[in-house]
Amino acid sequence: MADTKRKSVRAAAAQIAPDLDSADGTTARVLQTIRDAARRGVELIVFPETFVPYYPYFSFVQPPVLQGAAHLQLMERAPSVPGPMTQAVAAAAREAGMVVVLGVNERDHGSLYNTQLVFDADGALLLKRRKITPTYHERMVWGQGDASGLTAVDTRVGRVGALACWEHYNPLARYALMAQHEEIHCAQFPGSLVGQVFADQMGVTIRHHALESGCFVVNATGWLTPEQVRAITPDEKLQGALRGGCHSAIVSPEGKYLAEPLTEGEGLVVADLDLSLIAKRKRMMDSVGHYARPELLSLAIRRESAATTQPLRPAATEVAAASPVAADTPAAMADAPRLPA
């Protein structure tokens, strides 16, 4: 649970390269980075989007007809949740006393999902959520998530929420976390993609969310070495699409960078979060409190987990006969599902 007396949190955004040849190799890099961060007193670390085993960069530069082998290889290497990979990360989080936010390609039988995991400092897996809508080329790789994981969770460092990449352009998804009073928002992007325009847009996006939510944002992007870029595609014209787009950064509730963003190479962006800045910002503008107008504008969220099977429900006529529904109320309406209040 959150420590309500905590005044400051040391956070880190990790910008590192995956191991494109081994899922265990990437996991080893995660574990080593946690240990390195612990030596610097880090209490919360955020890793890039689908970092384990690696982001599907191939899907951005290959046409669908050529993706089969790479897609199958990613499925073979993708971890199940829970599983050996999550056990190893949980142990590292517990040993370091660190909250860990990790992006993975989650394999669920014959499907892959863009999944965000939040481990508390005692190693407990507090949250597993799936990206609601994969973006553009990603739809050839991942399935769609649902709102069951669209939740801010209490951790040792505070109330934490997370979104992946262009989910930040879904204002209702962001508002769902804002309404749960997230204190630290963990953002994850792939990095080494699209070019400088991607990094520029990212900076605007995370700073705006910090201001609007009145929270800290810790954003992590991945990194590809020049050798890895060439391994993904030998086409020099396409290699440019796998460079740039890195912007690992930490932003305050006032929209200010707390450390210089990392845009090239590997490293940790580390900053101390003064939690008193949350109240300072929200005193003036609390978008889910005194600045909201719920009688005019509100958000409904369907939190049920998506499922391919549902229990058989009785026909509407049977419900009408068995239920004391008013005579002027349609039986189908009595049987209709309702969104949570």
**Residue pLDDT, tens place only, 83-115:** 999 999 999 999 999 999 999 999 999 999 999
Annotated catalytic, 7?
no
- What pLDDT digit, counting tens, does each position of 260-301 carry? 999 999 999 999 999 999 999 999 999 999 999 999 999 999
Q: Chain-centre distance of CA 256, in angstroms? A: 21
- Report how far residue 165's alpha carbon sits from residue 187's, in angstroms, rounded to the nearest whole number: 7
Residues comprising the chain, all counted: 341
pLDDT at 320: 57
Average pLDDT over residues 198-220: 98
CA distances from 39 to 6, 86, 220 (A): 20, 22, 19
Annotated catalytic, 138?
no
The whole model's pTM is what?
0.89
Which residue from 111, 219, 107, 110 is spatially nearest to 161, judged by alpha carbons? 219
Annotated catalytic, 49?
yes
CA distances from 42 to 11, 98, 99, 121 (A): 6, 7, 9, 11
Choose the catalytic residue: 43, 106, 138, 165.
165
How many CA atoms within 13 Å lie on the side-chain side of 336? 8
